[in-house]
Amino acid sequence: MFRKDVQIIKDIILRNLRMNGLETPLLQKRLVESWPQVAGPVIARYTTDVCIRNQTLFVSMTNPALRADLSMRKQELVEKLNQTVGSRIIVDIRFC
């Protein structure tokens, strides 16, 4: 016998994550891990730490000139990072 109530496993997992309050932390982790791909290999080389607090991505940089350049492009980076995870996770980036 076949069941007509077939559900996609992805939808079931996402629904369970959402019900248990784990969807946002998972998306935050994906966003942090996507920083090197979105920023590029040169910028990733000068990045020492990336974390999210209160919808703000904090990026520690070792190069002050690069930090100033990225500050000018932070809105573009916010949009690209949010598009990468498919949800609005961050609203700002701060370079330290």
Interval 10-44: pLDDT, tens:
888 888 878 887 788 889 999 999 999 999 999 99
Query: What is the arithmetic mean of pLDDT over 85-93?
Result: 94
- Residue 51's H or E segment, with its range, is strand 47-53
User: How many percent of the chain have pLDDT more than 90?
Assistant: 72
Closest of 74, 90, 71 to residue 27, by C-alpha? 90
How many residues in total does the chain contain? 96
Full-model pTM? 0.81
